[in-house]
Structure formats: C-alpha cells, structure tokens
Structure 1
Amino acid sequence: MNRLAINRRNAAVLESIIIIGLALVPLFSTFPYRVNIFLTWEGAFRLSEGQMPYRDFGTPLGFGFWLIPALFFKIFGPYLISLIKAQVLINIMGGFAFRSIMKSLGLPAGIRVLSVLLFVLSYSFFNFWPWYNHTVIIYELIGLAFLLCSLKGGKWRWLTLFAAAFFTFLSFFTKQDGGGLALLLCLAILGYHSLHERRWTELLGFVGFYILVGCIFILPFVPHGFGYWFNHGQPPHNSRLAVKDFADEILNFSQWLKFYFLLIVLLMIPSLRNWRALWADKQQMMFLLVTVGILVEAAIFQVTSYTPPDNNIFFHSFAFAFIFTQLAWILQIKLEDFRYFAGAGLLILLWWSGTFYKYIDKILTRMLPPAQEVVAGGENVVSRNNFMINTDTTDVSTSEWIFSSIPVFKKIYMPPSTVHGMDRLMDMPVIKSKGREVKVLNLSELTPLDQAIGYKQETGHQIPLWHHLGVGMFNRQLADYNEKIRNKYYDVVVFEYAPTLNNFFPFAIRDELKRHYRQVDSFLAPRRPTNATIEVYVP
C-alpha cells in the first residue's frame, strides 16, 4: 500500500485529534454572556445543591440535560466557566459516538475520517455552551452507537443493548421531541434487524430495558407532580404538533434536507431496481435506514424545536457519509489515497469555513484594520460596511463589553451597564445585612446571581425552574407569584423586561410589581442586541 495512505491505525489517530483537539479549543478563550444560558445554569446549580426535580422545582423537561453540567459544578465549582468545561466533555462524547456509528456501518477509513471532520465542524465545534437541543442529540448518538455495536453480536451484546436503551431514554428525558424521534429510529433499526434475522430477542430486550430505565427515572417523582410538569402534550402544555407548521417549514425552506434526499434517491436508483438484493444486504440497509431516519428526524425537529434556527444541523455529516460512500463506489475512487483525502478535506474546510473563520477574522481585523472611507474632495462613500444606518441607540457592541469582578462570572464579559448594575445590586444594604436569609425573586437571565448573593432559593413542587409563561411556568405559578408580590413577601425582586419576547418573563408580574413595589434601579440585560432591561424592585 502507498505509504501516504489512510489506514485503520492512522485513521483512529486522526479522528481522535480532530474530536479532542477541537473540543478543547474553548478552554483557552473568553466568552460573551450567552443568551438563554440562565436555564442551563439554574438546573445544574439546583441539582448540584442536592435539590430534587419536581419535588423542589418543576420543569417541563426531564432532568437528563442537567446531569453533566451539575457534575461539573460539583467538581469545578458553580461558575459559568464550569459549563464550558462540561460542554467540552459533551462534544468529545458526541464525536466518538458518531465515529462509532460510522465504524459500525462499515465506512472506509478515509470517508470515515472526513465524516468525523465534518461532524465536528458542522455540529460541535461552535457549541461552547450546554444546551438541551444539542445534548438530546448527543445522547441519541451514544444510544445509536451502542445499539449498532450490540447488533453486531458478541459476548457484550446484552450489556451494549442495555446501554443503548439507557442513553436513548436519557435522550427522551432531556427533550421529548428529539428523544421520541430517537426511540422511533432505534425501533426502525431493530425492526429491520428482527425481520432480516427472523429473531425478535434484541427488539424485545431493547423495549424491556427502555421501560425498566424509564420506570427507574420516573416513578420516584410521580408523587411530586411529575404528570403536571412533564410535557407529554397534556394541558397546560402545547404539543407543538401542527401539520401546517411542518408543511410551511419543509416545503418553504429545508433546502439542504431536500437536496440530500434527492441525491440519496438518485444514487440508490440502481439498488432500488433490485430491492430484494438491497433488503438482503444488511450493512447497506442499516446505513440507508440510519441516514434517512436522521434526515426525517431533522425535518421534524426543526419545527418542534424552532429556536435557535440551527438546532437540526446534525444531519449534514450523516448525509455526507452516505453520499460520498456511494459516489466513491460508483466513481471507483479510494479516499484512503492521501491525495484524494487531502483534497476532500480541504474542500470540507472551505465548505464549513464559517465555523472557524471568526477566530481568523479577529487576527485579520487587528492586522488589516478597515480603511477610512474618505475620498479627497469630500465625496460620500457608501460600501458594504456602511450602506445600512443603525438606528438602535441601545445596542452595545461586544467589543465594548467588560468583565465582572463577581467570581461566578469569571472569563465572561457583558455590557458595562450589566456589570455595573450587578455591582449595585450586590451592594444593596438589604442584601448585605440579611445575607442568606434575604428573600430574592430573580426573574432575569442572570441566574448565577443566585450563587453570588448566596440567598436560600425557593423550593417546592410549585416553583418553576424558569419563568417563560406557557413554556417553563403556567397560570398556576403566575397566580402564586402575584399573590406573594401583593403581600410583599420578597425583599428584592430582579425582573427582566423583554418587550419583544412573548412573556419571556411574565408581563403580568411586572404589572403587579409596579402596583406594590418600588423600582430602585435598572440596567441592560446581557443580550445582543441589548433589547431587554433588568429592573430592581423593593417593597
């Protein structure tokens, strides 16, 4: 074999370098405060403090999402930077799970390394913070990896089958839509395997393990209002399943999904002509089932988990792996040849250059600052950099953001108004004098203030983990908060007013605060654009 070739050994080394090396990059950087990271923080902090979900706080999700962040809080302390470290582990787990799936599907070494590179660039490299719409897919991939290993047989097949059921349920217990789709994909794979092998033991074993794990996770919380909090489509929750929404999203948009599906159909035409031979080819059928299943899941997931809009981009690497495997066979190209491998790798880097160019751009901006657009004679110059006039007088560029001296916010920068506002809050006499006994209602995305102030958090099965009305809390909790505000129960209320977001923090609570409390301060929320204000109230 050519000395410059991708073989099994150096492929494993390259994949490990790609997965681990790129996952570690965030450890050497600083970060702006992340929008919506309050939810990750609050759940991880409460779990790390020993609070029990549904008994001490309510959440419409399972608590699978917060397990790894809570563990990292216990190991490294409750700091925002601990969440970055947790995501490093999650990204490494996801990368090796994807590699295992590709290995089980029999990809040639060259295409597998390229697929791993694409997976990391397109799905994990830019995910610095834990977020449930990402973690749910990582748990799914780990479950799929164990499932495919189990179906290969061997003495560990029942243990790996149990692991597959465990992580597939953990995916469901992280987010219902992605986790439910993960279960359906696993059942489709097991259904084909059972029909092909004319043996149902693996399918029955997986279902049995899944039910067992589900009972272990759910039954202890049934007495604490689990059925009310956990969103399985019952009131007051919204199921988000609307045919019109799916039609609008898939037919109006979803260009990459439809393009990949078209290519797969075209490439499979020769095999589809002899569908019996395709059905008998277990490895090819498994590969096709996984790929099409992931594409279908991505099409559904983008509707049920609609924010942020790039939640579903985990499908690129699966489609790439399948399409390139078929093309390599048709064109008789061996991507293990280093010349072809290097060329394909460079094209992938060009394709997904946006994920790493922002780091290069910071250097180029310092080395090649933009030219002053002034022409002799006083002519006005309009270019791509100034053709739009920004009329938002509240926006604060991240170049102007600063660091806070509060330890929990170490290495995280925010608008100066936010940093100074938090300092004023920490210096309030009532907070300094009452210490842990001060009663604070923190209805803002600055949830790390819980730890910074050190007050005793409210607990109980009626306390929501987060305060988005109709999503994380409901009218029953709204009425409880309003009653406490009318009775002036809280010493300090921190409320975030985000007028463009539908009850992100309930507007009705702010109305009640205006009637019964006195506003003593306000400052910008750590958002970009800075379109929300944090208000501080006292009785």
Structure 2
Amino acid sequence: MNLPALSSRKALILESLVIIVLALVPLFVTFPYRVNIFLSWEGAYRISEGQMPYRDFGLPLGYGYWIVPALFMKIFGPQLITLVKAQVLLNIIGGFSFRAILRNLNVAPGIHVLAVLLFVISYSFFNFWPWYNNTVIIYQLAGLAFLLYALRADARWKWFSLFAAALFTFLSFFTKQDGGGLALLLALALLAYHSIVEKRWQELAGFVGFYIVVACAFILPFVPHRFGYWFNHGQPPHSSRLSLHDIINEFLYQSQWLKFYFVAVLLVTIPALRDWKTLWRNKQQMLFLLLTLGILVEATLFQVTSYTPPDNNIFFHSFAFAYIFAVLAPILGLQTEQWKTFVLSAVLVLFWWSGAYYRYIGRIVDRVFPAENNAEAIRTGPTGENLVGRANYQFTTDTADVPVSQWVFSSLPEFHKIYMPASTKEGIDRVMALPEAKKGKDAKVLNLSELTPLDHAIGYQLETGHNIPLWHHLGVGMFNSQLHDYVEKIRNKHYDLVLYEDMPRHNNFFPWVIQDELRQHYRQVDSFLAPRRPTTSATIKVFVK
C-alpha cells in the first residue's frame, strides 16, 4: 500500500507531538535533588515575592533566566518541582523555535521533522531542570526564528518580527553574557549578509535600533542600584572566562563531533563552492550555511566559557544534521517525504541517539536481564577461579557513598517529588525542630547551603540590599565586599541560625573564611550530608549562637 507523501500539515502534527509529548514527560516522574539548582530556586523565589534584582539582591548575570521560573513559582508555589514545570514550557518554546528556523529556511518537511526529532532527544529531552546555560540557547533560538522570518521576501509582519528577534536576542544576553553575546554576533552576521545581497540596510538598522531600545528598557531602571558593579563584563571584581589558550586546547584535544561537522559541512558544500557567485546569490542556502557555521563556532566557544555541565553545547548537532542532510538528500536521491524513507531515517536517528532515552528503557532491561556481577564483590567461577569483568575489575574506594537508589523523600512540601539522601532528610527535620527555626519570620538565618527551599519552609525574612548576593560562590556570585559584610555580622552574632555547606573539593563555593569565623563565634549543633553525588563530597553544618 502506497501512503501519501509527508505533507507540511502532517509534518507539523508529527513535530508537535514530538515536542510537546516529550516535554511533558518530566511532569510524571520524580527526581533526585539537582546539583546547583539552589540558585535557580532562590532567584525565582525572590522575584516571585516582589524583590527587584540588583536593588534587593545582586547577581553577575541578567535576570532573564529567572523570568519564566519566577512566573511559574507565582502560579504554582515555591516548590522545587515548580522549576521542572517551568522547564516544560522552555523546552516547548525551544522545540517550536527550532522548527520555525528550519521552516523559514524552506527545509523539506521530511528533513525538518527528522531534525526536530534529533533536537528534542539530543538536547531538550534530558534538560528537565532550568539552567541558564540552557535558557540562553532557548532565547537565542526564538530570536533566530523571528529574525529569519523577517528576512523572508513574503514576510507580512517584518517589523514586529524584527522587534521580537531583538527582544529574545537581548533576553539571551541578559540570561548569560557569553552565549547571548554570541547570539547577537550571529544575528548581526545574518543581517549583514542579507543587507549586502539585497542592497538594503533597513532590516539591519531596525534590528540594532530595537535591540538598543530593549536593552535600555531592561538595564536603565537598575543603574542606580549598582548594576555596573554586579553585571559581569570582565571588570573588577569580576574576571573574564574567555581564554584563547583554553579554546584552542579544548577544540584540538577534544571536540570530536564539532571537528567532524566542520569537515562534513565543508565537504557537502564543495560542489556549490565551485560556482561561489551563484551560491552567494542563493539567499536561502547562504543563510543556512552561515547559520550552521555560526552555531558550530558558538558551540566551540561556549563549551569553554560555560564549562558546566560539560554537555551544555550539544544544541549544534541538530543544526549540522539538518544542513548536511538537506544538501545530501537531493544528491543521493533521498525523498524524505516518502514514508518508507522517512521512517527508516527516523529509526536511524533514534538508534544514533539511543543513549538519551535508554536510561529509562535500561531500568526495564535490568529487571528482565538482571546483571550477575557486583562491582564490590570478588566472585569465583565453578572451578574456583577468580572472575574479573567490567563491573569488578576495580573497586570503589568511597564505601560511605549513599547510592541514589537509597535516597528518600522529605515531608516538606517545598521538596515534593524530590528525593535526597536519608541523612539530608533527617538533617532537615532536625533543623526545622530547632528553637531558632521555630521563630519563623522573626528568625535571622544565613543559609549558605544548597537547601535554599528552607528559606520558605522556615518562613524567615530574606536579607535584602544592594550588597546581598543571590548565591555565595566567592569570585563568581559574591566578592570580597560581601564576604567582609558577612564576616562582620557573624562576629557580631547577628544571625540566630547559620547553615554552612562544607565543600572541600570546590574552590570557595561557600567561602571557607566564613566557616572559620563560625567556628570561633558560633556553636555547631549538627551536621548531615548535602544532597550531592557522591554524597561524601559535601556536608551541611548547623550553627547557632
């Protein structure tokens, strides 16, 4: 039976199902406590409570990242799981923005459905939690989608789209300076090509003008509140993360996929380069080529300037795949709108990125085909010989680590659907039972830990002011001026209760000097494991007057 070809309408239905259904999956599962999610929660919580960035708390970024989480926290409440709900919306925005980019470049329906599938499973599917290194890309994609629409000859809403492109491109910058700055440069490169080939500069001037207006609207209200001090543009006390040495080393030593795509894009473009003047006049193909190369360059730099988590730059796969497949398909005679070709291609894409979803299927496989080896066991065969395999050729030395399978849930609503080490859960219960915590809004608490939802659970009034940092990583989120203030308050015993997370493997993640001061001027009454992996990497210590 011959099925009708994959039309644009059917492609939209398939893409919508992939984008929306996979984005909704996190709403039906539970999660282990997320490392570093504490600053996402506190920033969203403060803004949802009406606090103003830079006036009430300082941060080295813009507040673009916290807009969506704060809105969701206002609607759904200050639970950690609210952040997951916010990311559902961001993943949907990212998926449809990527789809719109390919549609505006007139990519064939079969190819852009495959590229959207790849984008979702390789990038957005495992991003359950919001994080600024992800949100900066989501905003960029939305900006590129509006920009490429505005550059189309048949665009009906050109100037509105240019304004929206400028807005989202600025929000990208106001979420993270490195990714957002690269997003702006890429947008300007596309606009410069458009202006040259069309011999018209109105779109470039309009975008730049809109960008300046949006930037002024977001920045000027905060200039009186020490915005210039907090916002990191490489000035003291901040430092720049841009290192040519690190970029070269990372690219040449590692970056195997990036180098592969650079070579592959060049190879498939060679036939067109033979008549480069015709290629230059082919606006659709040139924009696609410039966009793909720009994304690859951005990913090369982004992996150095934003180095945690290590896979935050893999948005480039879907762009490179779409370009290479779009160029090769006509040469190879592949009709991706035919269902047989499309389904086979989709199966191959899913096989290629099986690691993105096999972690869930693997749980079923483990039950059906249980592993017979134990990484901590010395096993012998029927003949008495020592059996050595992949799982037990070496032993884990950290025998005190608590595996995630043994983590438990807290009864506090702020931690709903979030499990953590039993030691953390029990420590939280003991903190909540302290007389200092029972003071509620009258308690004076300094929470230097990843358990920021305790701010709401205890109910105390958060400190506010232009010298109060949102988070306390010395040299990143706070600086010597703020450290001096905290030391003085500790020496004067300003706080009733202090939670301090001791992280000896991290460089002043919570300033070590503060722990030294607490030992001199406060009394430690408790300690318990922090919700990190391995669990032995950090300890939360409880101090009272």
TM-score class, shorter-chain normalisation, is: over 0.9
Residues 431-454 of structure 1 show CA distances to partners (whole Å, capped at 9, x for unaligned) of 11x221100000001111111111
1:426 aligned residue:
432
SS across alignment from 2:540: strand
Pairwise CA distance, 1:502:
0.5
Match of 1:411 among 407, 417, 434: 417
**Is 1:383 aligned to 2:386, yes or no?**
no
- Between the two proteins, the alignment pairs up a number of residues equal to 538
The separation in 2 between residues aligned to 1:239 and 1:329, in whole angstroms, is 45
2:132 aligned residue:
132
Evaluate the alpha carbon distance shift between residue 9 and residue 2 of structure 1 in structure 2; reply closer, same or farther with a 3 A threshold.
Answer: farther
1:146 partner amino acid: F
**Is 1:457 aligned to 2:455, yes or no?**
no
Root-mean-square deviation (CA, aligned residues, Å) is 1.1
The separation in 1 between residues aligned to 2:264 and 2:384, in whole angstroms, is 54
**Is 1:171 aligned to 2:175, yes or no?**
no
8 A contact 2:80–2:416 mirrored in 1: yes
Residues 245-269 of structure 1 show CA distances to partners (whole Å, capped at 9, x for unaligned) of 1111111111100100001111111
**Is 1:402 aligned to 2:408, yes or no?**
yes
**Superposition map of 1:57-76 within 5 A:** 57-76=57-76
TM-score by length of 2: 0.97
The separation in 1 between residues aligned to 2:173 and 2:541, in whole angstroms, is 36
Pairwise CA distance, 1:292:
0.4
Pairwise CA distance, 1:377:
4.6
Pairwise CA distance, 1:385:
1.6
**Superposition map of 1:437-476 within 5 A:** 437-476=442-481
The separation in 1 between residues aligned to 2:156 and 2:121, in whole angstroms, is 35
1:367 aligned residue:
368
2:159 aligned residue:
158
2:26 aligned residue:
26
2:119 partner amino acid: F
SS across alignment from 1:521: strand
1:281 aligned residue:
282
8 A contact 1:8–1:109 mirrored in 2: yes
1:188 partner amino acid: A
The separation in 1 between residues aligned to 2:380 and 2:52, in whole angstroms, is 63
1:150 partner amino acid: A
Pairwise CA distance, 1:369:
2.1
Residues 21-44 of structure 1 show CA distances to partners (whole Å, capped at 9, x for unaligned) of 100111110000000000110100
TM-score by length of 1: 0.98
SS across alignment from 1:429: coil
Match of 2:490 among 485, 488, 493: 485
**Is 1:272 aligned to 2:273, yes or no?**
yes
Residues 387-411 of structure 1 show CA distances to partners (whole Å, capped at 9, x for unaligned) of 2201103311000000000110000
Residues 266-323 of structure 1 show CA distances to partners (whole Å, capped at 9, x for unaligned) of 1111111111111100000000011000000000101100111111100000000000
Residues 352-374 of structure 1 show CA distances to partners (whole Å, capped at 9, x for unaligned) of 11111011111222233222655
The separation in 2 between residues aligned to 1:247 and 1:48, in whole angstroms, is 42
SS across alignment from 2:387: coil
**Superposition map of 1:114-125 within 5 A:** 114-125=114-125
The separation in 2 between residues aligned to 1:31 and 1:435, in whole angstroms, is 28
**Superposition map of 1:21-420 within 5 A:** 21-152=21-152, 153-371=154-372, 375-420=381-426
2:376 aligned residue:
none
1:538 aligned residue:
544
The separation in 1 between residues aligned to 2:324 and 2:76, in whole angstroms, is 43
Residues 59-106 of structure 1 show CA distances to partners (whole Å, capped at 9, x for unaligned) of 000000000000000111111111111000000000000000000111
8 A contact 1:2–1:337 mirrored in 2: no
8 A contact 1:42–1:448 mirrored in 2: yes
**Is 1:503 aligned to 2:508, yes or no?**
yes
Pairwise CA distance, 1:4:
4.4
Q: Which runs of 5+ in 2 are unaligned?
A: 374-378
1:501 partner amino acid: H
8 A contact 1:245–1:303 mirrored in 2: yes
